[in-house]
Amino acid sequence: MSIDVLLGDAANLPVRAWRVAEGELRLQFAESAEDRTLRCDGCERRHWIVQSHVHEGRGALAVRCHGCGRASELFFAEVPAPWR
Ligand SMILES: [Zn+2]
């Protein structure tokens, strides 16, 4: 069982790796090797609708809570290299 991280805290931390397991979003942040499970700071649930995309040249994850609809974006630690 991994430690929870609240959505409001996760939005400030660069993400190194992520995966969805049983509807829960597992995150590894750049500063720590441990898995964290994203938890909603609105309704306390851990189920998310996740979409990866590029936002202003950076990789990002758009997340939306299944329970209360709270939404945010998480950013990846690595900035993708420009296409040459
Ligand atoms: Zn929620």
Confidence band (pLDDT; 50, 70, 90) for 35? Answer: very high
84 has a pLDDT exceeding 80: no
Maximum alpha-carbon separation in the chain: 44
Token pair, residue 57, equals 């040249």
Q: How far is the CA of 64 from the centre of ligand 1 (A)?
A: 8
Confidence band (pLDDT; 50, 70, 90) for 33? Answer: confident
**Mean pLDDT score, 60-84:** 86
Tokens 């040459």 belong to which residue? 84
Q: What is the pLDDT of residue 54?
A: 82
Task: Kindly report the average pLDDT of the chain as a whole number.
Answer: 89
Q: How far is the CA of 83 from the centre of ligand 1 (A)?
A: 37
Q: How far is the CA of 25 from the centre of ligand 1 (A)?
A: 13
At position 19, the amino acid (one-letter code) is R
Task: Give the whole-angstrom CA distance, residue 21 versus residue 11.
Answer: 20
* Closest among 21, 31, 29, 33 to 5, alpha carbons compared: 29
Task: Give the whole-angstrom CA distance, residue 71 versus residue 56.
Answer: 18
**Mean pLDDT score, 14-30:** 91
